[in-house]
Structure 1
Amino acid sequence: MSRERLVFEGTSGTGLAGLLDLPTEPPKAVALFAHCFTCGKNSAAAVGIARELIRQQIAVLRFDFTGVGASEGDFADTTFGTNIGDLVCAAEHLREVLAPPTILIGHSLGGAAVLAGAGMIPEVRAVATIGAPAEPRHIEHLFSAEAAVIESLGESTVRVGARQIRLRREFVHDLRHQDQMTRIAKLRRALLIMHSPQDRVVGVDNARRIYDTAAHPKSFVCLDNADHLLTDRADATYCARILATWARRYIDTESDRARGK
């Protein structure tokens, strides 16, 4: 395996930091990974899934959204809409330096982002979500105690997990005005939904709503006993192996078409 550090322009014009993991042989496919809310490209889930996909000869780009990790910009200036824009920018950079992504993978709010952004990346054939909310506004419960302050003063500092971040009124309003159900209904890509019934951050009912709204082909995998962040390496590895096996059906189909079979 080899790894390249990338910096490319995000939707707001600031530099986004990414890691492109490449298998030793020419990749059979290229995947783009979107991390969970405030997590970053080096989260346990991102690292574990990328590691396993590389073993399956799938190249993976994982990157930090604007204002997160090593990427430039102020997180307070971002919205769910800018996350979608950053995802599309990452796909465009992949298109220039390697090949366009055929697989999108998103964890938690990153899962909502890949569902929303897939229609803007024509080469994508398969989309996988892990612990994703059916609608972006679901994450409002993470900062509900500060909701009134954000609305009245325009912004507030909130704690999400171990991190303190500034959120603005625009961020909250943007979450509330996303027509995510329509996007899911019009996805027209193979969809894999992975979710733990023990998820206490994003309840498993969100997976049911996504599944019921999406058209076929669609699949659901139960991540029994996993936590939301997939902190157990075994859970991340299991996710990646299922994902790689599932995605190969669509990768191989594309390869056959290219060969005229």
Structure 2
Amino acid sequence: MDIISEKIFFPGSLGHLLAARLDRPVKNPRFFAVYGPCFTCTKDILVAKRISETLATLGIGVLRVDFTGLGESAGSFAEANFSSNVEDLLAATGYLKAHFDAPQMMIGHSLGGTTCLVATSKSPDIKAVVTINSPCHPKHVARHFPGLEEELSWKGEADVKIEGRDFRIQKHFFDDLQAHDMNQILPQLGAALLVLHSPTDTSVNIKNASYIFSTAAHPKSFISLDQMDHLVTKKDDALYIAKLIEAWGERYVTPSQG
């Protein structure tokens, strides 16, 4: 199926202009989805691009987002946090609803998946949510910065290196990670859940997926991503994930009448 890929801009949660890319079939999409990338990743990371474009060839429109301060979005990473990322996703759903059709699915990779879970609990339009190698709680990300929380408590901000890139993190970022009670959120998602996780993920242990799955209410499904790495770097793996999402999601969404 032929697809269209277009760059989109819309206001984000902190008032900055967010950049996104909408991949969709030339003909009317069956439904729309919003995609949240991994921590500090952008909409153009290969796994996001591959999953989104493959879903478009299967008739699904996918809006993949650069969170505030990342990629082509305005603002600074230092002023953003998990809560603002959640609101950025909700802003993306609002854009699609205003200009195309209300999205019915959220898809998130790593911390982006956790973000999607919280955003889904706040959006009545979302009927299905998918996590890919996602932590069960936002505060999981703090484990990657041992000792940083203490430094932030007396300095207020600190510079960190993530995947070879420099970022400034402020105290409010760590404080906000503690503010979301997934024990309360997961049982009340209000949407079908698909948990996808690799048992060989060395960044986010598969026990996180087990917790998400066991805590959430039905309908829910859990599929092991056998032999995949955390970032899903192999093309064939990303295509497989996209096909899983399409087949699973068909049961829970309403085909667009547009």
TM-score scaled by length of structure 2: 0.96
Aligned with 1:55 (options 51, 54, 57): 57
Aligned with 1:36 (options 13, 38, 49): 38
SS in structure 2 of the partner of residue 181 of structure 1: helix
Q: Name the structure 2 match of 1:212.
A: 214
Aligned with 1:70 (options 60, 69, 72): 72
1:91-141 deviation digits (Å, cap 9, x = unpaired): 001111111110100111110111001122211110000011100000111
Contact 1:191 / 1:218 at 8 angstroms: preserved in 2? yes
Q: Name the structure 2 match of 1:156.
A: 158
Contact 2:24 / 2:57 at 8 angstroms: preserved in 1? no
How many angstroms apart in 2 are the aligned matches of 1:68 and 1:180? 25
SS in structure 2 of the partner of residue 61 of structure 1: strand
Q: Name the structure 2 match of 1:249.
A: 251
Contact 2:34 / 2:106 at 8 angstroms: preserved in 1? yes
What amino acid maps onto 2:157 in structure 1?
E
Determine which structure has the larger helix proportion and give its number: 1
Q: Superposition pairs for residues 178-197 of structure 1, below 5 Å? A: 178-197=180-199
SS in structure 2 of the partner of residue 115 of structure 1: helix
1:180-216 deviation digits (Å, cap 9, x = unpaired): 2211111121100000011111110000000010011
CA drift of 1:147 comes to 2.8
Contact 1:134 / 1:181 at 8 angstroms: preserved in 2? no
CA drift of 1:145 comes to 4.1
How many angstroms apart in 1 are the aligned matches of 2:84 and 2:215? 24
Aligned with 1:96 (options 98, 101, 104): 98
How many angstroms apart in 1 are the aligned matches of 2:124 and 2:191? 10
How many angstroms apart in 1 are the aligned matches of 2:111 and 2:255? 31
Gaps of 5+ in 2: none
How many angstroms apart in 1 are the aligned matches of 2:180 and 2:146? 19
Contact 1:197 / 1:225 at 8 angstroms: preserved in 2? yes
Q: Name the structure 2 match of 1:20.
A: 22
Quote the sequence identity (%).
Answer: 38
How many angstroms apart in 1 are the aligned matches of 2:37 and 2:183? 21
Q: Superposition pairs for residues 76-225 of structure 1, below 5 Å? A: 76-225=78-227
User: CA-atom RMSD, angstroms?
Assistant: 1.3
User: What number of residue pairs does the alignment pair up?
Assistant: 255
1:62-85 deviation digits (Å, cap 9, x = unpaired): 010000000000100011010011
Contact 1:199 / 1:226 at 8 angstroms: preserved in 2? yes
Contact 1:142 / 1:160 at 8 angstroms: preserved in 2? no
How many angstroms apart in 2 are the aligned matches of 1:58 and 1:198? 29
